[in-house]
Amino acid sequence: MTIALTPGQTMALTGARGKPARVRMGLGWTSTRGRVDLDASVLLYSADGTLVDQVWYGQLASTDGSVAHTGDNITGEGEGDLESIRVDLSQLPEAVSTLVFTVNSYSGQRFSVVSDAYCRLVDETYGDEELGSFNLSASGPHTAQIMAKLTRDGTAWTMTAIGRPAGGKRYDDLLTVVAGCLGVVGPASDLASARDHDVAPVRTGPSRAAVVVIVVVLALAVLVAATQLR
């Protein structure tokens, strides 16, 4: 029985016959205004947040072959899952603890013109059993989304729906946003979050204007000191 996830909800990956060994993340959508080219990608991370590998339309398989993209649908035409990424959980390197799935609008259209967008996780170990799905059709000016993530939990895995809006045409435009979804706290993720929500980020250190003032004051101090020595 499939579970319809909401943002932030986590489910254990368990199929009718137990823990799945091979799963597929499917992405589907329709467009209200002509063709829309959405691209699914997956980023593979270690436990400390290091990017280990990535699979996208420019690299259709991970280095070790445990993750594979079925191909780029550039028109948005067809039925069912228009793009899919297959993951052999049993063959993933031990160094990989999290897989983050993203979607970008390569053609630049905003998600406000995309309808019925979804991602779903299917257990392909013994057949084609849908484990969970997530609605991506939140309208807005964004051109990308962080869809969901799979997290290693000992010998098992969990899926968490994210649905965080972002911007960019490729997976590498989303790295700082993804870092925030991993729980990595730092200036990069803070700035990305502010940019996503049109909020002025809080920066540490002096501003450019303050630096100019400091330089001028120091120069005057040096000049005065030199005059007094004469």
- In the numeric block, which tokens belong to residue 68? 């594979």
* The predicted structure's pLDDT at residue 108: 83
CATH number of the domain that 147 lies in? 2.60.60.30
Residue at 168 is within a domain: yes
The lowest-confidence range among 48-52, 96-100, 124-128 is: 124-128
Higher per-residue confidence, 155 vs 201: 155
Asked if pLDDT for residue 203 goes beyond 50, the answer is no
Residue at 221 is within a domain: no
Q: Which domain holds residue 103?
A: 3-205
pLDDT band with cut points at 50, 70 and 90 for residue 71: confident
SS3 16: coil
Cβ contact 87:22 at 8 Å: yes
| E strand map for 113-212 | 114-123, 129-135, 144-153, 156-166
Please state the domain count of the chain.
1
Residue at 230 is within a domain: no
Q: What is the pTM of this model?
A: 0.76
The secondary structure of 178-220 as a DSSP string is: HHHHTT--SHHHHHHHHHHTT-PPP--S--HHHHHHHHHHHHH
Residue at 223 is within a domain: no
Residue at 111 is within a domain: yes
Residue at 13 is within a domain: yes
Q: What is the mean pLDDT of the chain?
A: 80
Residue at 222 is within a domain: no
Cβ contact 130:120 at 8 Å: yes
Residue at 153 is within a domain: yes
